[in-house]
Amino acid sequence: MIIAVDGPMASGKGTIAKALAAHLSLPHLDTGSLYRATGVAVLDAGVSPEDHTACAALARDLDVSAIDEARIRTAQAGAMASKIAAIPAVRDALFEVQRAFATQPGGAILDGRDIGTVICPDADVKLFVTADPETRARRRWAELTASGETLSFDAMLEQTRERDRRDAGRSDAPMRPADDAILLDTSSLSIDAAVATAIRIVEKRQKA
């Protein structure tokens, strides 16, 4: 059982993927953390995101067992992740670790942008989780301000739109629903309702 959960920033895909993983006792990989950790490595090394060779080398050298959760969650790490995620050699460098996770015996749940289209086109269930940009910006703004970052809501909304444009507009593995993905709009759903809907979708697929 491979489950792919894709969607834009703060759509709820991570929360849903985590809850599905707990419900089904499946291992879960947040693939955004790989791009975020590479983004942090790029920032630490003082490398330009224009230097594709250097960014790809940092992605290849990434120690996935030593990702600093606190550091990768900042707005700066997210913005850099989205820039370096557009580099094909970076995506190539991170492909194998994702594919190996997905194909482990017993199955897995992965969330990201291109799981249903590129990493696991063979997934048994594909969800594409969305929400309108204002709702997503409000959610992420609340998270970031709670963790001590200071930024205005308007700046957050602009970052949300910019990230959507970049993630959906890149030529390599753009964010888009797979043809066989089921869309789940969480704009007016509570976390519990979104998770319950996702569980229903998966259980229906399992029965079919």
Residues near ligand CDP (CB under 6 A) are: 9-10, 14, 31-32, 35-36, 78, 81-82, 85, 112-114, 163, 167
Q: In angstroms, what is the minimal distance from the CB of 77 to ligand CDP?
A: 8
**Alpha-carbon span 139 to 191, nearest angstrom:** 11
Smallest distance, ligand CDP to C-beta of residue 203, A: 25
User: Is residue 153 a contact partner of residue 137, using CB atoms and an 8 Å limit?
Assistant: yes
Q: How far is the CB of 201 from ligand CDP (least distance, A)?
A: 20
CB of 100 to ligand CDP, least distance (A): 15
Instruction: Give yes or no for a contact between 10 and 142, defined as CB atoms under 8 angstroms apart.
Output: no
- Which residues are within 8 A (CB) of 19 and not within 5 positions of it... i.e. 6 or more apart? 195, 198, 199
Nearest-CA neighbor of 61 among 84, 38, 80?
Answer: 38
Closest CB to ligand CDP among residues 117, 197: 117
Q: Considering the complex, what minimum distance in angstroms separates the CB of residue 192 from ligand CDP?
A: 20
Other Cβ atoms less than 10 A from the Cβ of 119: the count is 25
Q: How far is the CB of 202 from ligand CDP (least distance, A)?
A: 20
Tokens of 63: 């120690």
Longest dimension (CA), the chain: 51
Q: Give the ranges where 25-102 is alpha helix by DSSP (H).
A: 32-45, 52-60, 69-72, 75-84, 88-102
23 or 166, CB closer to ligand CDP? 166
Count Cα atoms within 13 angstroms, Cβ side, for 42. 31
